[in-house]
């Protein structure tokens, strides 16, 4: 089950919750002030994964060294 990060609009508290993917956008009350004005935020980890995915797909496009899983090697540099 993935870990999601939420931000409370009322007290600005960030909190995390393990939720099923289908429940990720469901309302989750703030554990501190019980406010229901919370929203899901993209964690830095998720943003990092997205960046590396984009980098990987970009190198797949015009990279002659397709079998090389490293960012650079003597063949594809």
3-8 and 38-41 as β-strands: parallel, antiparallel, unpaired? Answer: antiparallel
Interacting positions 22-61 with Zn ion (CB under 5 A): 30, 32-33, 35
Q: Does 10 bind Zn ion (CB under 5 A)?
A: yes
Q: Does 16 bind Zn ion (CB under 5 A)?
A: no
Choice between 9 and 71, CB closer to Zn ion: 9
**To the nearest whole angstrom, how small is the minimum distance from the Cβ of residue 11 to Zn ion?**
3
Q: Tokens at residue 13, please?
A: 């508290």
**To the nearest whole angstrom, how small is the minimum distance from the Cβ of residue 76 to Zn ion?**
49
Residues of the chain by 3-state class (helix, strand, coil), percent to 5: 30, 20, 50
Choice between 15 and 19, CB closer to Zn ion: 15
Neighbour tally for 52: CB within 10 Å: 10
Choice between 33 and 65, CB closer to Zn ion: 33
Mapping DSSP to helix (H, G, I), strand (E, B) and coil, where does residue 60 land?
helix
């Amino acid at each position: 089950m993935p870990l999601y990060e939420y931000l409370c609009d009322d007290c600005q508290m960030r909190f995390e919750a393990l939720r099923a993917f289908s429940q990720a956008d469901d309302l989750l009350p703030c554990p501190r002030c019980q406010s229901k004005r919370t929203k899901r935020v993209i964690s830095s980890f998720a943003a990092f994964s997205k960046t590396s995915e984009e980098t990987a797909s970009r190198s797949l496009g015009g990279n002659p060294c397709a079998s090389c899983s490293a960012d650079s090697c003597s063949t594809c540099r």
